[in-house]
Chains A and B, each alone.
Chain A
Amino acid sequence: MKTNDVIIQFTAKLVFFMIFFYAVHIFFAGHYTPGGGFVGGLVTASAIVLLIVAFDLKTVQTILPINYIYMVASGLILALGTAAISMFAGKPFFTHYFDYYNLPILGKTSLHTAALFDLGVYLVVVGVTMTIIQTIGEDE
């Protein structure tokens, strides 16, 4: 018998975006409040897992055609690159820089290179989680 899962599929489409934007919020909140790259990455991965549960692996792979292993590698390179910037400026490895900028819509904002490092962590966490889930899911 073919099950009809129209409700979960419809809900998943809506809830996916809610979870994803919450993950983005948590990611950017990390500097001043609890949150950061690790949690943000896990929440993003859980949003994608929700899609996989509601639809199936193949469909989700066509919606999000991402090679998660490359995602891990680029996240690592981004993190290492951020840490290495200061090496070229003659400062010790991992020295971060920050300053305040007046951005068009957001107003006065502090931009910190630690956010780039966090973005690397975020990519690695999403990539690793999705690789694990996809590999186990595809296994016959």
Chain B
Amino acid sequence: MNNFLLLPIIIPFFFAMILMFGQKKIAYQRIMTIFGLVLSILCAAGLVLNVRENGPQIVTFGNWPAPFGITMVSDMMSALLVLTTLVLAMFIVWYGFASIGRKREQFFYYPGIMFIITGVNGAFTTGDIFNLFVFFEVLLMASYLLIVLGGEKAQLRESIKYILVNVISSALFVITVAYLYSVVGTLNMADISLKIAEINQPGILTVIAVLFLLVFGMKAAIFPLYFWLPSAYSAPPIPVLALFGALLTKVGVYAITRTYTLFFTHDLSYTHELLLILAILTIVAGCIGALAHFDVKQIIIYNIVIAVGVILFGVAQMNEAGLEGAIFYLIHDMIIKAALFMLIGIVIYVTGTTNLRKMGGLMKTYPALGWFYLIAAFGLVGVPPLSGFIGKLLIVQGGFEAGNTWSTLLVLASSIIVLLSAMRIFIYAFWGVEGQLSSNVEKSKFNGLFIPTAFLVVLSIFYGIGTEWLTPFMGDAAKILFDPSIYTDAVMKGGN
């Protein structure tokens, strides 16, 4: 059935509505959320296999022909991202059972999560630039709820900044789409790609390309537009932070990747050069932040910024190795960031502080936590058998193939700083003399936090070991990014 690709979007949406009833019944809320997520994961996994077998899946709403209706396109990249999103959401919700607290659970926490997933999955799947805007708003609205839910002072302060920044960037998005529409006269992404190829990207389209970079860069937190991220992400509770850190910036990265591989491919020397420079500066800015802080949350938050830079560096190369590496690294980074935030959430729970200087000696009391953190940290850096290795290897290969020797070396060097920042948490918190310990650690709550985290870390190990099996999927995804004619052909001819 050709509507199949919509199920990972519709099912969370439907469950979000159902969860608005029975607001106070926590058992009902939890069971329905997990049930909805498992159902969507099964559909998303089916979708990935279907795309692998039959090529990109397309459905145009309302039975209209392709450029006139809203088209939803599920190619390998979006199918993989949708699957990753749902799996991560399930683990984060599971983790949240122990830590999010009754009051939040009773006040639309779970519907908020389901709506945010609807928005993220929709943004990954849509084939229409204005529909992309709408799905961005869906996920942003839900994220406004989640960032402020609980009403602590820091949350209220940071949510004002967060909403302000996002309202401005959304307005800019609308203006940019208006510009693009006035030039090409269509909103369907495949059709835009064809129209731009016909008129061969005059100056105005390069301006629009830079405007898109500005808009999506604000969402994805690239240099110099990442200023809102460190403080905004430190406000909400850990499960929400893990959800944001794993998903939200990656939607911006995906949107940049999509527009810069599908639309703006005719003036590479300007647009992709700019993307390259900004990616490098993003990495540098992230590295500085990650080293400067002694707050565990902030260190991992700045690692998000570094990873965004690395992925976009891969995209900016515009060769198959670079793009494949970018996809590998993107999915690795979503998994590992969720796992790291969950791990430091446990560290914060057992020590009762976020300050590294006050921690110490956790290895004696919580050895399992220490070893899992070490594995996750090595995975983040990209130590060979683990998940971050192959993505960065391909990105570096792409960089050398494209002749960007110095910047590629800089990307390699940034790994050392990532290692240093992640190891610093390990050394300060787990080694040495015993530091501060929270007095009221309950065994059952600790297990409730630790078990989903451990599963996620194990999943990231499999992602690293299973590279051999994943390569054909990633190769498919990179091929369609590298050659947009596969995308446009599928939409314009196969669209029904």
Quote the shortest CB–CB distance from A129 to chain B (angstroms): 16
Contact A80–B63 (Cβ < 8 Å) = no
Contact A95–B62 (Cβ < 8 Å) = yes
Separation of A69 and B19 alpha carbons in the complex (Å): 11
Q: A70-B20, A73-B21 are in contact. Are A96 and B14 (CB under 8 A)?
A: no
Quote the shortest CB–CB distance from A109 to chain B (angstroms): 22
A73 CB contact (under 8 Å) in B2, B17, B63: B17
For A94, list chain B residues within 8 Å (CB).
61-62
Separation of A90 and B1 alpha carbons in the complex (Å): 7
Separation of A86 and B14 alpha carbons in the complex (Å): 16
Q: A92-B63, A95-B62 are in contact. Are A77 and B17 (CB under 8 A)?
A: yes
For A72, list chain B residues within 8 Å (CB).
20
Q: Indicate whether A93 reaches chain B with its CB closer than 8 angstroms.
A: yes
For B6, list chain A residues within 8 Å (CB).
87, 93
For B18, list chain A residues within 8 Å (CB).
73, 77
Contact B59–A92 (Cβ < 8 Å) = yes
Q: Indicate whether B313 reaches chain A with its CB closer than 8 angstroms.
A: no
> Number of A interface residues, CB 8 Å?
17
For A96, list chain B residues within 8 Å (CB).
62
The closest CB in chain A to the CB of B495 belongs to A92
Separation of A36 and B13 alpha carbons in the complex (Å): 24
Residues in B437-490 with C-beta less than 8 Å from chain A = none
Residues in B63-86 with C-beta less than 8 Å from chain A = 63
Q: Indicate whether B405 reaches chain A with its CB closer than 8 angstroms.
A: no
> Number of B interface residues, CB 8 Å?
18
For A116, list chain B residues within 8 Å (CB).
none
At the interface, is chain B mostly helix, strand, loop or mixed? helix
* Interface residues as binary, A89-112 with B (CB distance below 8 Å gives 1, 0 otherwise): 011111110000000000000000
Quote the shortest CB–CB distance from B149 to chain A (angstroms): 15
Contact A95–B21 (Cβ < 8 Å) = no
For B404, list chain A residues within 8 Å (CB).
none
Contact A92–B60 (Cβ < 8 Å) = yes
Number of A-B contacts (CB under 8 A): 44
* Interface residues as binary, A43-72 with B (CB distance below 8 Å gives 1, 0 otherwise): 000000000000000000000000001101
Contact A92–B62 (Cβ < 8 Å) = yes
* Interface residues as binary, B4-24 with A (CB distance below 8 Å gives 1, 0 otherwise): 001000100110011011010
Q: Indicate whether B496 reaches chain A with its CB closer than 8 angstroms.
A: yes
* Interface residues as binary, B131-156 with A (CB distance below 8 Å gives 1, 0 otherwise): 00000000000000000000000000
For B10, list chain A residues within 8 Å (CB).
80, 84, 93
Quote the shortest CB–CB distance from A125 to chain B (angstroms): 15
Q: Indicate whether B106 reaches chain A with its CB closer than 8 angstroms.
A: no
Most buried by B among A93, A94, A96: A93
Contact B3–A92 (Cβ < 8 Å) = yes
B13 CB contact (under 8 Å) in A80, A87, A95: A80
For B21, list chain A residues within 8 Å (CB).
70, 73
Q: Indicate whether A19 reaches chain B with its CB closer than 8 angstroms.
A: no
Separation of A94 and B20 alpha carbons in the complex (Å): 23
Q: A80-B10, A84-B10, A87-B3 are in contact. Are A92 and B61 (CB under 8 A)?
A: yes
For B2, list chain A residues within 8 Å (CB).
92
B63 CB contact (under 8 Å) in A69, A70, A84, A91: A91
Contact B61–A93 (Cβ < 8 Å) = yes
Q: List 10 interface pairs A-B (beta carbons < 8 Å), by A numbering.
A: A69-B20, A73-B17, A73-B20, A76-B17, A80-B14, A80-B17, A86-B63, A92-B61, A92-B63, A95-B62
Across the A-B interface, the 10 shortest Cβ-Cβ residue pairs: A73-B20, A94-B61, A95-B63, A94-B62, A76-B17, A87-B3, A73-B17, A92-B59, A77-B17, A92-B63
Residues of A within 8 A of B (CB): 69-70, 72-73, 76-77, 80, 84, 86-87, 90-96
Residues of B within 8 A of A (CB): 1-3, 6, 10, 13-14, 17-18, 20-21, 23, 59-63, 496
What 11 new A-B contacts, CB under 8 Å, besides A73-B18, A90-B1?
A70-B20, A70-B21, A77-B14, A80-B10, A80-B13, A80-B17, A84-B10, A87-B1, A92-B59, A92-B60, A96-B62
